[in-house]
Amino acid sequence: MLKLTKVHHIAIICSDYERSKEFYTDVLGFTIVREVFREEKNSWKLDLALNGQYVIELFSFPDPPARVSMPEACGLRHLAFETDDVAAAIIHLAERGVVAELIRTDEFTGKKFTFFSDPDGLPVELYER
């Protein structure tokens, strides 16, 4: 039996490296673990952590094609992060110019959640603990 222990990281390719770097660090609060420029690929690679846990690899590549988010397409649907207070998180996002959807309640768990988009339109969910 394959014994996976955890999700190691999530890789995201962005269209505007500086804009996405600011979004994931200043807006969402990830911390930078390592940032390198890979000259041979003309590409940045930014390793980001959440509460000390390595979570996201943010890549830039010259002229990446857009990924379809709406209508929903086959493949990875969205990223979801846990928060203690969805309403407070929405206020934090709004203060930084990020518009979130109205708060919904999960019909199976009774937990609150919302969605918003990263700078490239990647759906991100906040789910209340």
Domains and their CATH numbers in the chain: 1-63 (3.10.180.10), 76-129 (3.10.180.10)
Higher-pLDDT residue of 123 and 67 is: 123
pLDDT the model gives residue 50: 96
> pTM of the predicted model, to two decimals?
0.90
pLDDT the model gives residue 75: 81
Integer Cα distance of 87 and 63 in angstroms: 36
Spatial CB neighbours of 128, under 8 Å, sequence gap ≥ 6: 82, 83, 84, 85, 86, 111, 112, 113
Specify the range with the lowest mean pLDDT, choosing from 19-33, 61-75, 115-129: 61-75
| 6 — pLDDT class (breaks 50, 70, 90) | confident
What is the mean predicted confidence (pLDDT) over 23-48?
A: 97
pLDDT the model gives residue 45: 97
pLDDT the model gives residue 97: 97
Q: 68-113, pLDDT tens digit by residue?
A: 877 877 888 899 999 999 999 999 999 999 999 999 999 999 999 9
